[in-house]
Structure 1
Amino acid sequence: MDRRTLRLLTLFLVLFSTGAQADIFQWQDASGKLHFGDRPPEGAQTKTITPNISPQLKDLEIHVKRQDFTLTGDLQQHTLDNIRHIYQRYRRDFGLDLHGTAEVNVFLIEKQDDFQQWMVERIGSSSRHYAGVFIPATNEVAVWKWAENEQQVAQTILHESSHVLLYQLSPSAPVWLQEGLAQYFQTLETQPDGRQRISALPDAQKRIQTWVEQQRLITLRQYLSLDDAQWRKMAHQLNAIPYTVAWATTAFLMSKPVGRSILRQLLQDLEKNHQRPTLQRIDHLYPGGLSRLEYDFFRWAQSDMTPHWY
């Protein structure tokens, strides 16, 4: 097939894939010239080459189910838009949910007592320590207006929405990655030029750098070897440490192409083979292995941790 014929075929495939599916035929005229179209001449010998067209991708569905308060100015709409940007990052960076089936149902609750009651109705218990919560079974995110600084409330909405999205797209992702990505994406901000900026979490950055200076930071080899039950036990006993290291590990990997590639591969392993991340797998994927990973991580932890741009 010559280049002109190939271009014509490509054009027909594009044209017919944008609308309702129709039969596309191939035939030759008396001079042997190849033609493509949906209306071949009467009596022509044809070959049907109708492409197998996939359903069009659907956008993420976001439903605000309850709205006791509204974030002022453009902040609320920007926050909802940023949930979509997080979803796109999951799709583009990690190749998750190529059929666009995810949704987020948002509940904005003004008073803490009402938020507590909402939690009791959903899961049978509550905690006054929570600013927000997500319910994987129903793709629900609930946040109460816990801070005067509305940007902090918006970050909580993004944090919980990230959890809901990843649970839909990769429900078996390890807890450290679930929490790390939620913290990472909660600072996402869209700039006037349309780019997204993700900044370091100031408190987490300060803790990590202090622990590095004092040589108190758990090694990544120890941290990444924890299973979900061990991680939760550590979170219950040591509170800030597992959450902070989850953010730092994820932010470090997202700061460089090779790190994003590794996270993508780990999530794809889960998606395709139900293979959970192991030290051996990470050692194999990271150039130079775990020793180099720890070296690079500690160097990054002592840096300025400049914002990431997308």
Structure 2
Amino acid sequence: MVVFSALLYLFFDGRQFWLEEVKPYLSQQANTASKPDSQTDSSYTKVQSRTPQKQADQYTHQARGDHQHALRRFGRCQPHVGERVKYRVEQGIYTWVDSNGVTNYSDQKPARGAKTYQPRSSRVLDYFDLEISGQTISNQFKNTLSSRLNAIFRGYTGIVGLKAMRKVTLRIQVLPSRGLYERTVKAYGGEPSGTAGVYFGTKNTAFVEQTSYEATMQTAIHEAVHAINQAVIGFSPRWLNEGLAEYFETVEVSMQVGEVKPNNHIAKSGYIKGQVLRPSQLIGAEDTWQSSDPATLYRSSWAFVHFLMSSSHGKQSLKALMLQEQKEPCSSLDYANVKRVLNGSYPNMQSAYAMFLNAQAKPQRL
């Protein structure tokens, strides 16, 4: 009776717990192992995750095109396709971001032989070739989005290091009505059903449905992170691509310092709400993503990335995985290679993740 009461408390409190014995981390699952050349979509979508909770399981997924085929067709599938980030100089002051993602200011160059990067005048973003358009969005929205993306870029740099970063080209178009959003996405060959934003990597363009101020902001950030992912690491597993986008989309900036808050996936008590897949299940879901519950997949992807970003061991694991992806931008790491990288950099990840899921999710500074 005591055990039953405790389980009821945990259930209504929104906390996650595993009743079964913890299985060996990343155990082989032959029926779910993804393949390097598996077919996936040519666009990245943001599901409408801010609908009422009772509708969370009602999303539908449509058939997608072959992302790798689209990359080859438009010539995007090339190593080191992006331009490396360089320092900039204005009025004799040099500015650059170091390998820890920290912005540095000095009257001296950061290194010998480095090339200057002179930003366009009055541009808020130094490291993005960014264009934001929309009939009804304000300058405040544009400036806030730019500030948050700058913070995300610094945080992203802190993961992979400055040498691995690439300059990102992105056009974000905010569409004022659902009807216009659906017609535009369809005109580009995409499927708008169940989404609030779509990023077309081969076009460097993201379309976002305008809803509330903060929801539109988060969707725009989500699609921008997809653009960063493609420019920096290329083609990647869905859980990694969507996990990074979900993680960064709730960033807030104060005094030029970014902080990621886990607002979208936690209950009022601070614990993660809803089902979360084990890492082996999540990584093995690559080939079944379109037929699985999207709410669970997005939540699980966010939770795993948030977990990795919560410790030095986790960040090193994430860095190793992303740098390995960068070596082969035209293909995605398969199940076996993800297992090898994560096991090699974080041997006790399974038990650490179980503890993370049963604790309150904390905000993280970038």
| 2:234 alignment partner in structure 1 | 171
Which residue identity is paired with 1:81?
Answer: S
SS in 2 for 1:241: helix
Following the alignment from structure 1 to structure 2, what is the Cα–Cα distance between the partners of residues 154 and 65? 12
Q: Contact 2:165–2:232 (CA<8 Å) still a contact in 1?
A: no
Following the alignment from structure 1 to structure 2, what is the Cα–Cα distance between the partners of residues 238 and 117? 26
The normalised TM-score by structure 2 is 0.60
- Higher RCO (CA < 8 A, seq sep 6+): 2
| Aligned partner of 2:191 among 122, 126, 137 | 126
The reply on whether 1:113 has 2:183 as its aligned counterpart is: no
Change (3 A) 1:63 1:281: closer
| Aligned partner of 2:134 among 53, 60, 67 | 67
The reply on whether 1:158 has 2:221 as its aligned counterpart is: yes
| 2:261 alignment partner in structure 1 | 199
Following the alignment from structure 2 to structure 1, what is the Cα–Cα distance between the partners of residues 129 and 136? 17
Q: Which structure carries more helix by proportion? A: 1
| Aligned partner of 1:284 among 344, 347, 350 | 344
Following the alignment from structure 1 to structure 2, what is the Cα–Cα distance between the partners of residues 66 and 264? 33
Q: Contact 1:136–1:168 (CA<8 Å) still a contact in 2?
A: no
| 2:145 alignment partner in structure 1 | 79
The normalised TM-score by structure 1 is 0.70
SS in 2 for 1:190: strand
Gaps of 5+ in 1: 1-17, 19-50
The reply on whether 1:307 has 2:363 as its aligned counterpart is: yes
Deviation at 1:106, TM superposition (A): 1.2
Residues 22-43 of structure 1 show CA distances to partners (whole Å, capped at 9, x for unaligned) of xxxxxxxxxxxxxxxxxxxxxx
Gaps of 5+ in 2: 1-91, 93-110, 120-125
Change (3 A) 1:97 1:186: farther
Deviation at 1:273, TM superposition (A): 6.0
The reply on whether 1:229 has 2:272 as its aligned counterpart is: no
Q: Contact 1:115–1:143 (CA<8 Å) still a contact in 2?
A: yes
Residues 226-279 of structure 1 show CA distances to partners (whole Å, capped at 9, x for unaligned) of 4x323x23xx33221111110000001011121111111111112236782421
Matched residues, number: 244
Following the alignment from structure 1 to structure 2, what is the Cα–Cα distance between the partners of residues 293 and 157? 32
Change (3 A) 1:194 1:63: closer
| 2:253 alignment partner in structure 1 | 190
The reply on whether 1:145 has 2:210 as its aligned counterpart is: yes
Q: CA RMSD in A?
A: 2.7
Q: Contact 1:135–1:141 (CA<8 Å) still a contact in 2?
A: yes
Q: Contact 2:151–2:256 (CA<8 Å) still a contact in 1?
A: no
Following the alignment from structure 1 to structure 2, what is the Cα–Cα distance between the partners of residues 136 and 217? 28
| 1:37 alignment partner in structure 2 | none
Following the alignment from structure 2 to structure 1, what is the Cα–Cα distance between the partners of residues 278 and 128? 39
Which residue identity is paired with 1:179?
Answer: E
SS in 2 for 1:107: strand
| 1:268 alignment partner in structure 2 | 323
Change (3 A) 1:264 1:278: same
Change (3 A) 1:153 1:176: same
Residues 116-140 of structure 1 show CA distances to partners (whole Å, capped at 9, x for unaligned) of 12112222x4324221111101211
Q: Contact 1:96–1:169 (CA<8 Å) still a contact in 2?
A: no
Deviation at 1:88, TM superposition (A): 2.5
Following the alignment from structure 1 to structure 2, what is the Cα–Cα distance between the partners of residues 229 and 155? 27
Q: Contact 1:159–1:185 (CA<8 Å) still a contact in 2?
A: yes
